Amino acid sequence: MSKGHTIPLLHLARLLLHRNTTVTIFTTPANKPFISDSLSDTDASIVELPFPQNIDGVPAGVESTDKLPSMSLFVPFANATKLMQPNFERSLETLPNVICIISDGFLGWTQQSAADFGIPRLVFYGWNNYSQTICRSILANSLLSGPELDDEPIVVTDFPWIKLTRSDFDEPFNSREPKGPHLDFIIEQAIATSKSYGQVMNSFYELEALYVEYWNRTWEPKVWCIGPFCLAESAKSDLQHHRKPTWLQWLDKQLAQGSSVLYVAFGSQAEISSQQLREIVVGLEASKVNFFWVTRKSESELDDGFEERVKERGLVVREWVDQRAILGHKSVRGFLSHCGWNSVLESVCAKVPILAWPMMAEQHLNAQMVVEEMKVGLRVETSNGLVKGFVKSEGLERMVRELMEGETGKEARKKVKELGEAAEKAVEEGGSSWHTLNQLIDELQALRSDA
């Protein structure tokens, strides 16, 4: 239960509704308004399950990870969801003709419910085949226990052209001897996934065919590429002229002036130090590019006077914005991103190149994929050349200019246009994702008939 997982699942719900299936969404009271609003123009049913109360370490009223005071509370939060299982099963009993349960990978307990009811479970993790396959390969070959130094290159045995470091991974994987509650939780989810019918991937075959084929040849459960999910939802109608938010009016003004805009957003969960924030402020100001920055930081945290000084060419926004509407705006020509997979896909679909600045989770692998495999972006420079090093303002300024005005940026823009067109073809009738989804639904319906 976090926006980065919920939003693509809501897009997936639309994708299924387009295929004349009935969709029921299970959620909790605090998350329901967002979901109801998102699917208000559909006939999806929404079932509310009470979220467990008085959980040690989880503040009262918090029902999604973006509301947690720190991501260090993720494991107790995720483990608390297990207490929802009895209510989930009671609700499940009331639904007729269920052909499958699609649940988030971190809700591994739903596999037991699925097994008890004789319903196939499909898993959704919100990442891509590249990151999943590389992680599995590295763990299977115990590659992270080898190097002496955290930033020593590791050659991925099964894919020798890929070189990573221990620093490309977060806790607990970057420990030489991983252990503890976080690892226990991950193993528990991995076991539940291995017992599931399959994984639905928010990706398309042509984007990462090698890794899809390798996974399905080597490991289980099977992956089904049926994305990009975001293309199932057209742009919001309330963004038409009479209800245009001020930020959209600002982008229109930039377009009218012939200005190119860099969109800056690091997701809802990245924790950026005040020192690093200062370098971003200085770098963006010195770059002289037009930018649109979405942040939760207050004006005083950024730098009093910064917004006033850049007001002719820069906008800082602190409200929730429609990222797809921003990336799809004709003035936006680059995206400084943390490389969460949703953001990468939305950028590809909008044909906007990326300046990759990974922060956490599998974002470092996504950044590697964006730059080395897809070739649709550049990577920020760290001051010491290390993966998780500090980014100084002059390095940021240089890479922002290169993305927006340089030759490498032009190459990335050309490549992302090709991939964006391939994404559109994949979900259209006759495309690879269209065929794969049909095949999956047919298979699930056949299973139901045989039961």
Return the CATH number at 247: 3.40.50.2000
User: What is the model's pLDDT at position 360?
Assistant: 86
237 is a domain residue: no
Do residues 207 and 419 lie in contact, with contact meaning Cβ atoms separated by under 8 Å? yes
C-alpha span between 52 and 80 (Å, rounded)? 7
Question: Quick one: 266 and 353 in the same domain?
Answer: yes
User: What is the model's pLDDT at position 253?
Assistant: 95
**441 backbone dihedrals φ, ψ, rounded to 5°:** -65, -45
Question: Quick one: 179 and 197 in the same domain?
Answer: yes
C-alpha span between 92 and 251 (Å, rounded)? 46
pLDDT at 348 > cutoff 90: yes
Residue 238: pLDDT band with limits 50, 70, 90: very low
User: What is the model's pLDDT at position 242?
Assistant: 54
pLDDT at 290 > cutoff 60: yes
Instruction: Report the domain count for the chain.
Output: 2
Structure tokens at 127: 């990442």
3-state helix, strand, coil in the chain (%, to 5): 50, 10, 40
pLDDT at 156 > cutoff 50: yes
CB within 8 Å of 383: residues ≥ 6 apart: 389, 390, 391, 392, 395
Provide the H-helix boundaries in 39-167: 74-80, 85-92, 110-117, 129-140
C-alpha span between 274 and 266 (Å, rounded)? 15
375 is a domain residue: yes
The residue range of the domain holding 146 is: 3-232+427-450
Residue 235: pLDDT band with limits 50, 70, 90: low
Closest CA to 305 of 272, 326, 323, 281: 281
Question: Quick one: 289 and 437 in the same domain?
Answer: no
First to last CA, the chain: 32
Q: Which of 108-117, 144-153, 182-191, 434-443 has the lowest average pLDDT?
A: 144-153
User: What is the model's pLDDT at position 237?
Assistant: 43
Question: Quick one: 421 and 435 in the same domain?
Answer: no
CB neighbours of residue 116 within 10 Å? 11
Do residues 216 and 208 lie in contact, with contact meaning Cβ atoms separated by under 8 Å? no
| Core vs surface per residue 396-411: b (16+ CB within 10 A) or e | bbbbbbbbbeeeebee
C-alpha span between 401 and 197 (Å, rounded)? 47
Q: What percent of the chain has pLDDT over 70?
A: 98
C-alpha span between 243 and 24 (Å, rounded)? 31
Question: Quick one: 346 and 378 in the same domain?
Answer: yes
Question: Quick one: 302 and 196 in the same domain?
Answer: no
Question: Quick one: 58 and 36 in the same domain?
Answer: yes
Question: Quick one: 417 and 434 in the same domain?
Answer: no
Question: Quick one: 311 and 259 in the same domain?
Answer: yes
Strand-pair category, 290-294 with 261-265? parallel
Question: Quick one: 286 and 419 in the same domain?
Answer: yes
